[in-house]
A = this chain, B = another copy of it.
Amino acid sequence: MKLQVTQENLNRALGSVARVANTRNALPILANVLIKTSNNRLSLSATNLDIAITHYIGAKVSEEGSITVPARLMQDFISSLPSGVINLELKETKLSITTDQYQSTVNGIMADDFPVMPAITSGQSWTVPGALLKKTLQQVVFAASNDETRPVLTAVLLHTSNGALYMAATDSYRLAERQLNNNTEDVRLLVPATAMQDLLRIIGDGADAVQVTHDDQQILFQVGDVELVTRLVEGKYPDYQKLIPSTFATSATLKRADFVNVTKVSSLFARESAGSITIEVDEAAQSLSIRSVASQLGENTAQAEAKATGSASITLNSKYLLDALNALGGDEVTFGFNGKLEATLLTDAANDDYKHVIMPLKG
Protein backbone atom coordinates (compact mmCIF):
# COMPACT_ATOMS: atom_id res chain seq x y z
CA MET A 1 0.00 0.00 0.00
CA LYS A 2 1.34 3.40 -0.98
CA LEU A 3 -0.63 6.62 -1.29
CA GLN A 4 -0.95 10.34 -0.70
CA VAL A 5 -3.85 11.89 1.19
CA THR A 6 -4.52 15.34 2.66
CA GLN A 7 -4.34 15.81 6.42
CA GLU A 8 -7.80 17.45 6.32
CA ASN A 9 -9.50 14.41 4.72
CA LEU A 10 -7.68 11.82 6.81
CA ASN A 11 -8.43 13.77 10.00
CA ARG A 12 -12.13 14.09 9.09
CA ALA A 13 -12.44 10.35 8.38
CA LEU A 14 -10.70 9.39 11.62
CA GLY A 15 -13.05 11.77 13.46
CA SER A 16 -16.05 9.84 12.08
CA VAL A 17 -14.89 6.30 12.77
CA ALA A 18 -12.32 6.24 15.61
CA ARG A 19 -14.88 6.63 18.40
CA VAL A 20 -16.34 3.19 17.66
CA ALA A 21 -12.95 1.50 18.12
CA ASN A 22 -12.43 0.46 21.73
CA THR A 23 -9.25 -0.54 23.58
CA ARG A 24 -11.25 -2.16 26.39
CA ASN A 25 -12.43 -4.95 24.11
CA ALA A 26 -11.04 -8.48 24.50
CA LEU A 27 -10.10 -8.53 20.81
CA PRO A 28 -7.08 -6.20 20.32
CA ILE A 29 -7.90 -5.55 16.66
CA LEU A 30 -11.16 -3.83 17.68
CA ALA A 31 -9.01 -0.95 19.03
CA ASN A 32 -7.78 -0.49 15.46
CA VAL A 33 -9.06 1.31 12.41
CA LEU A 34 -9.00 -0.48 9.05
CA ILE A 35 -7.39 1.56 6.25
CA LYS A 36 -8.00 0.20 2.77
CA THR A 37 -7.43 1.49 -0.76
CA SER A 38 -9.90 1.03 -3.59
CA ASN A 39 -8.87 2.70 -6.88
CA ASN A 40 -8.45 6.36 -5.99
CA ARG A 41 -10.42 6.14 -2.77
CA LEU A 42 -9.39 5.27 0.73
CA SER A 43 -11.83 3.76 3.23
CA LEU A 44 -11.41 3.96 6.98
CA SER A 45 -13.52 1.61 9.11
CA ALA A 46 -13.99 0.79 12.78
CA THR A 47 -16.37 -1.60 14.52
CA ASN A 48 -17.33 -2.86 17.98
CA LEU A 49 -19.06 -5.92 16.43
CA ASP A 50 -22.52 -4.28 16.96
CA ILE A 51 -21.90 -1.05 15.06
CA ALA A 52 -19.54 -0.43 12.12
CA ILE A 53 -18.73 2.96 10.58
CA THR A 54 -16.90 3.46 7.28
CA HIS A 55 -15.78 6.80 5.85
CA TYR A 56 -14.60 7.10 2.22
CA ILE A 57 -12.13 9.83 1.21
CA GLY A 58 -10.21 10.71 -1.96
CA ALA A 59 -6.53 9.67 -2.18
CA LYS A 60 -3.74 9.42 -4.77
CA VAL A 61 -3.10 5.68 -4.65
CA SER A 62 0.08 4.31 -6.27
CA GLU A 63 -0.07 0.82 -4.70
CA GLU A 64 -3.26 -0.88 -3.45
CA GLY A 65 -3.34 -2.46 0.01
CA SER A 66 -4.83 -2.48 3.49
CA ILE A 67 -3.78 -2.49 7.16
CA THR A 68 -5.27 -1.88 10.61
CA VAL A 69 -3.59 0.58 13.02
CA PRO A 70 -4.39 1.76 16.59
CA ALA A 71 -7.34 4.15 16.22
CA ARG A 72 -6.67 6.47 19.13
CA LEU A 73 -2.97 6.98 18.38
CA MET A 74 -3.75 7.51 14.71
CA GLN A 75 -6.49 10.06 15.42
CA ASP A 76 -4.41 12.00 17.97
CA PHE A 77 -1.38 11.92 15.69
CA ILE A 78 -3.05 12.96 12.43
CA SER A 79 -5.04 15.72 14.16
CA SER A 80 -1.76 17.15 15.52
CA LEU A 81 -0.16 17.40 12.08
CA PRO A 82 -0.26 20.63 10.05
CA SER A 83 -2.60 20.68 7.04
CA GLY A 84 -1.11 19.48 3.75
CA VAL A 85 -0.10 16.25 2.05
CA ILE A 86 0.64 13.09 4.06
CA ASN A 87 2.44 10.08 2.55
CA LEU A 88 1.36 6.62 3.74
CA GLU A 89 3.41 3.56 2.87
CA LEU A 90 3.05 0.04 4.20
CA LYS A 91 6.12 -2.17 4.80
CA GLU A 92 4.94 -5.58 6.02
CA THR A 93 2.72 -4.57 8.99
CA LYS A 94 4.45 -1.24 9.66
CA LEU A 95 2.71 1.86 8.34
CA SER A 96 5.12 4.68 7.56
CA ILE A 97 3.57 8.16 7.79
CA THR A 98 5.65 11.07 6.51
CA THR A 99 5.29 14.79 5.90
CA ASP A 100 7.98 17.44 5.40
CA GLN A 101 8.56 17.68 9.13
CA TYR A 102 7.48 14.33 10.54
CA GLN A 103 8.53 10.73 9.98
CA SER A 104 6.56 8.12 11.89
CA THR A 105 6.15 4.38 11.88
CA VAL A 106 2.99 2.91 13.36
CA ASN A 107 2.80 -0.83 14.07
CA GLY A 108 -0.31 -2.39 12.54
CA ILE A 109 -2.21 -5.69 12.55
CA MET A 110 -2.99 -7.44 9.23
CA ALA A 111 -6.31 -6.40 7.69
CA ASP A 112 -7.33 -10.05 7.11
CA ASP A 113 -8.07 -10.38 10.83
CA PHE A 114 -10.47 -7.41 10.90
CA PRO A 115 -14.11 -8.45 11.51
CA VAL A 116 -16.48 -7.32 8.77
CA MET A 117 -20.25 -6.85 9.28
CA PRO A 118 -22.31 -8.93 6.83
CA ALA A 119 -23.58 -6.93 3.84
CA ILE A 120 -27.27 -6.05 3.49
CA THR A 121 -28.01 -7.65 0.13
CA SER A 122 -31.78 -7.69 -0.15
CA GLY A 123 -33.58 -5.07 1.87
CA GLN A 124 -35.95 -2.14 1.82
CA SER A 125 -34.50 1.30 1.21
CA TRP A 126 -35.84 4.81 1.75
CA THR A 127 -34.55 8.34 2.41
CA VAL A 128 -34.99 10.91 5.20
CA PRO A 129 -33.93 14.59 4.89
CA GLY A 130 -30.66 14.98 6.85
CA ALA A 131 -31.63 18.07 8.86
CA LEU A 132 -34.97 16.53 9.90
CA LEU A 133 -33.31 13.26 10.96
CA LYS A 134 -30.71 15.16 12.97
CA LYS A 135 -33.31 17.24 14.80
CA THR A 136 -35.38 14.11 15.51
CA LEU A 137 -32.40 12.22 16.90
CA GLN A 138 -31.63 15.18 19.19
CA GLN A 139 -35.20 15.25 20.46
CA VAL A 140 -35.78 11.51 20.90
CA VAL A 141 -32.64 9.43 21.54
CA PHE A 142 -31.87 10.72 25.07
CA ALA A 143 -35.21 9.34 26.33
CA ALA A 144 -34.07 5.74 25.70
CA SER A 145 -33.00 3.62 28.67
CA ASN A 146 -29.43 2.64 29.65
CA ASP A 147 -30.66 -0.39 31.54
CA GLU A 148 -29.46 -3.50 29.69
CA THR A 149 -31.87 -5.73 31.63
CA ARG A 150 -34.70 -4.54 29.35
CA PRO A 151 -32.96 -4.48 25.95
CA VAL A 152 -35.97 -3.21 23.94
CA LEU A 153 -35.96 0.06 25.96
CA THR A 154 -32.28 0.67 25.07
CA ALA A 155 -33.46 0.93 21.44
CA VAL A 156 -35.19 3.67 19.49
CA LEU A 157 -38.35 2.55 17.70
CA LEU A 158 -38.56 3.57 14.04
CA HIS A 159 -42.01 2.75 12.69
CA THR A 160 -44.70 3.78 10.23
CA SER A 161 -48.24 4.54 11.29
CA ASN A 162 -50.92 5.82 8.88
CA GLY A 163 -48.31 6.42 6.16
CA ALA A 164 -46.00 8.55 8.33
CA LEU A 165 -42.64 7.62 9.82
CA TYR A 166 -42.22 8.06 13.61
CA MET A 167 -39.26 7.78 15.94
CA ALA A 168 -39.89 7.06 19.63
CA ALA A 169 -37.90 6.20 22.78
CA THR A 170 -38.81 5.63 26.41
CA ASP A 171 -37.12 4.55 29.62
CA SER A 172 -40.57 3.98 31.20
CA TYR A 173 -40.32 7.23 33.23
CA ARG A 174 -40.49 9.49 30.19
CA LEU A 175 -41.23 9.10 26.51
CA ALA A 176 -40.33 11.11 23.43
CA GLU A 177 -41.92 10.74 20.01
CA ARG A 178 -41.50 12.69 16.81
CA GLN A 179 -43.19 12.39 13.46
CA LEU A 180 -40.75 12.44 10.52
CA ASN A 181 -41.72 12.50 6.85
CA ASN A 182 -44.31 10.43 5.04
CA ASN A 183 -43.11 6.98 4.11
CA THR A 184 -44.64 4.44 1.78
CA GLU A 185 -42.55 1.56 3.17
CA ASP A 186 -44.07 -0.19 6.17
CA VAL A 187 -41.37 -0.56 8.84
CA ARG A 188 -41.11 -1.38 12.55
CA LEU A 189 -37.45 -1.47 13.60
CA LEU A 190 -35.66 -1.35 16.95
CA VAL A 191 -32.35 0.51 16.45
CA PRO A 192 -29.83 0.64 19.37
CA ALA A 193 -29.83 4.15 20.91
CA THR A 194 -26.01 4.08 21.11
CA ALA A 195 -25.84 3.63 17.31
CA MET A 196 -28.22 6.58 16.92
CA GLN A 197 -25.89 8.72 19.07
CA ASP A 198 -23.06 7.81 16.69
CA LEU A 199 -25.29 8.65 13.72
CA LEU A 200 -26.07 12.04 15.29
CA ARG A 201 -22.34 12.85 15.42
CA ILE A 202 -21.93 11.90 11.76
CA ILE A 203 -24.81 13.96 10.33
CA GLY A 204 -23.39 17.41 9.57
CA ASP A 205 -25.46 20.57 9.72
CA GLY A 206 -25.75 20.85 5.94
CA ALA A 207 -26.50 17.13 5.47
CA ASP A 208 -28.42 16.04 2.38
CA ALA A 209 -30.86 13.15 2.33
CA VAL A 210 -29.83 10.15 4.41
CA GLN A 211 -30.32 6.81 2.65
CA VAL A 212 -31.65 4.08 4.94
CA THR A 213 -31.52 0.37 4.03
CA HIS A 214 -32.44 -2.56 6.24
CA ASP A 215 -33.10 -6.28 6.33
CA ASP A 216 -34.33 -8.33 9.31
CA GLN A 217 -31.07 -8.11 11.24
CA GLN A 218 -29.30 -4.90 10.32
CA ILE A 219 -29.88 -1.31 9.29
CA LEU A 220 -27.54 0.86 7.18
CA PHE A 221 -27.47 4.68 7.18
CA GLN A 222 -25.59 6.40 4.32
CA VAL A 223 -24.71 10.05 5.02
CA GLY A 224 -22.64 11.45 2.15
CA ASP A 225 -19.35 9.52 2.22
CA VAL A 226 -20.04 7.87 5.56
CA GLU A 227 -21.82 4.56 6.19
CA LEU A 228 -23.07 3.39 9.57
CA VAL A 229 -24.42 -0.13 9.91
CA THR A 230 -25.81 -1.54 13.16
CA ARG A 231 -27.50 -4.72 14.31
CA LEU A 232 -31.20 -4.35 15.16
CA VAL A 233 -32.53 -5.14 18.64
CA GLU A 234 -34.95 -8.07 18.85
CA GLY A 235 -38.09 -8.04 20.98
CA LYS A 236 -41.55 -6.50 21.30
CA TYR A 237 -41.69 -2.75 21.93
CA PRO A 238 -44.46 -1.55 24.28
CA ASP A 239 -47.55 -0.05 22.62
CA TYR A 240 -46.44 3.40 23.71
CA GLN A 241 -48.89 5.53 21.73
CA LYS A 242 -51.79 4.66 24.02
CA LEU A 243 -49.75 6.14 26.93
CA ILE A 244 -49.73 9.64 25.40
CA PRO A 245 -52.57 11.69 26.94
CA SER A 246 -54.67 13.83 24.59
CA THR A 247 -57.10 15.63 26.93
CA PHE A 248 -56.13 17.54 30.06
CA ALA A 249 -57.89 18.74 33.20
CA THR A 250 -55.14 21.35 33.71
CA SER A 251 -52.82 23.00 31.22
CA ALA A 252 -50.48 25.97 30.95
CA THR A 253 -48.86 27.65 27.95
CA LEU A 254 -45.81 29.81 28.70
CA LYS A 255 -42.50 31.05 27.32
CA ARG A 256 -40.08 28.14 27.17
CA ALA A 257 -37.21 30.32 28.48
CA ASP A 258 -39.28 31.25 31.57
CA PHE A 259 -40.17 27.62 32.21
CA VAL A 260 -36.47 26.64 31.91
CA ASN A 261 -35.40 29.41 34.34
CA VAL A 262 -37.90 28.63 37.09
CA THR A 263 -37.15 24.90 36.78
CA LYS A 264 -33.37 25.45 36.97
CA VAL A 265 -33.60 27.66 40.06
CA SER A 266 -36.04 25.25 41.73
CA SER A 267 -33.82 22.25 41.00
CA LEU A 268 -31.06 23.77 43.18
CA PHE A 269 -33.29 23.27 46.22
CA ALA A 270 -34.31 19.78 45.06
CA ARG A 271 -30.91 18.10 45.33
CA GLU A 272 -31.75 16.47 48.67
CA SER A 273 -35.03 15.11 47.29
CA ALA A 274 -33.52 13.59 44.10
CA GLY A 275 -34.82 16.41 41.92
CA SER A 276 -38.44 16.36 43.12
CA ILE A 277 -40.26 19.66 42.39
CA THR A 278 -43.95 20.53 42.62
CA ILE A 279 -45.51 22.49 39.75
CA GLU A 280 -48.67 24.46 40.44
CA VAL A 281 -50.86 25.86 37.68
CA ASP A 282 -53.22 28.63 38.85
CA GLU A 283 -55.99 29.72 36.49
CA ALA A 284 -57.03 32.73 38.64
CA ALA A 285 -53.45 34.07 38.84
CA GLN A 286 -52.67 33.01 35.24
CA SER A 287 -49.37 31.61 36.48
CA LEU A 288 -47.25 28.49 36.75
CA SER A 289 -45.16 28.27 39.91
CA ILE A 290 -42.65 25.67 41.11
CA ARG A 291 -41.96 24.87 44.74
CA SER A 292 -39.02 22.85 46.05
CA VAL A 293 -38.01 22.13 49.62
CA ALA A 294 -34.62 21.05 50.97
CA SER A 295 -35.13 20.24 54.64
CA GLN A 296 -31.49 21.05 55.47
CA LEU A 297 -30.82 24.00 53.20
CA GLY A 298 -34.10 25.87 52.80
CA GLU A 299 -36.89 26.20 50.28
CA ASN A 300 -37.79 28.07 47.11
CA THR A 301 -40.84 29.16 45.15
CA ALA A 302 -40.42 30.45 41.60
CA GLN A 303 -43.20 31.87 39.46
CA ALA A 304 -43.80 32.52 35.75
CA GLU A 305 -46.70 34.06 33.79
CA ALA A 306 -48.78 31.50 31.90
CA LYS A 307 -52.02 31.10 29.97
CA ALA A 308 -53.58 28.66 32.44
CA THR A 309 -56.68 26.48 32.17
CA GLY A 310 -57.67 24.71 35.40
CA SER A 311 -55.84 24.84 38.73
CA ALA A 312 -53.94 21.91 40.20
CA SER A 313 -50.43 20.77 41.14
CA ILE A 314 -48.22 17.83 40.20
CA THR A 315 -44.75 16.59 41.26
CA LEU A 316 -42.06 15.84 38.64
CA ASN A 317 -38.34 15.09 38.46
CA SER A 318 -36.66 18.43 37.61
CA LYS A 319 -33.96 16.78 35.47
CA TYR A 320 -36.55 15.10 33.24
CA LEU A 321 -38.44 18.37 32.95
CA LEU A 322 -35.27 20.28 31.94
CA ASP A 323 -34.33 17.58 29.39
CA ALA A 324 -37.79 17.87 27.84
CA LEU A 325 -37.76 21.70 27.77
CA ASN A 326 -34.32 21.69 26.12
CA ALA A 327 -35.47 19.15 23.51
CA LEU A 328 -38.60 21.13 22.66
CA GLY A 329 -36.74 24.13 21.28
CA GLY A 330 -39.64 26.44 20.32
CA ASP A 331 -40.61 29.81 21.87
CA GLU A 332 -43.67 28.64 23.79
CA VAL A 333 -44.52 25.30 25.34
CA THR A 334 -47.78 23.76 26.50
CA PHE A 335 -47.75 21.58 29.60
CA GLY A 336 -50.86 19.49 30.31
CA PHE A 337 -51.73 17.01 33.05
CA ASN A 338 -54.62 15.19 34.73
CA GLY A 339 -54.49 13.17 37.99
CA LYS A 340 -51.50 13.19 40.34
CA LEU A 341 -50.31 9.78 39.09
CA GLU A 342 -51.17 10.13 35.39
CA ALA A 343 -48.81 10.88 32.50
CA THR A 344 -48.11 14.57 31.73
CA LEU A 345 -47.46 15.94 28.23
CA LEU A 346 -45.18 18.69 26.94
CA THR A 347 -45.48 20.00 23.37
CA ASP A 348 -44.45 23.04 21.40
CA ALA A 349 -47.38 25.46 21.63
CA ALA A 350 -47.17 26.08 17.86
CA ASN A 351 -47.27 22.44 16.64
CA ASP A 352 -47.36 18.95 18.08
CA ASP A 353 -45.01 17.00 15.77
CA TYR A 354 -42.93 16.34 18.88
CA LYS A 355 -44.54 14.89 22.01
CA HIS A 356 -42.77 14.46 25.32
CA VAL A 357 -44.42 12.52 28.14
CA ILE A 358 -43.15 12.57 31.75
CA MET A 359 -44.57 10.32 34.46
CA PRO A 360 -45.13 12.18 37.77
CA LEU A 361 -43.42 11.31 41.07
CA LYS A 362 -45.52 10.30 44.04
CA GLY A 363 -45.69 13.78 45.63
Please list the residues of chain A having a beta carbon within 8 angstroms of any beta carbon in chain B: 70, 73, 76-77, 80-82, 94-95, 101-107, 261-262, 264-265, 268-269, 294, 296-304
Q: How far is the CB of A67 from chain B (nearest CB, A)?
A: 12
10 new A-B pairs (CB below 8 Å) besides A102-B302, A105-B298? A77-B269, A94-B298, A101-B302, A103-B300, A103-B301, A104-B299, A105-B299, A105-B300, A107-B296, A107-B297
Given the interface contacts A82-B261, A264-B80, A268-B80, does A101 sit within 8 Å of B298 by beta carbon?
no
Task: Determine whether the beta carbon of B265 is less than 8 Å from that of A80.
Answer: yes
What B residues does A81 contact at CB under 8 A? Answer: 265
Query: Assuming A101-B303, A261-B82, is B298 touching A268 (CB within 8 A)?
Result: no
Q: Is the CB of A77 within 8 A of B265?
A: yes
Which residue of the partner chain B has the closest CB to A107?
B298
Report yes or no: B268 in contact with A73, Cβ–Cβ below 8 A.
yes
A106 — nearest CB in chain B belongs to which residue?
A: B298
The smallest C-beta distance from A109 to any residue of chain B, in angstroms, reads: 11
Distance in Å from the Cβ of A318 to the closest Cβ of chain B?
A: 12
> B residues within 8 A CB of A73?
268-269, 294, 297-298
Q: Which residue of B lies closest to A75 (CB)?
A: B268
Tell me which residues across on chain B come within 8 A of A102, comparing CB atoms.
262, 265, 300-303
Closest 4 CB pairs of A and B: A106-B298, A104-B300, A80-B265, A105-B298
Which residues on B sit within 8 Å (CB–CB) of A77?
265, 268-269, 300
| Pair A297/B262 contact, Cβ less than 8 Å | no
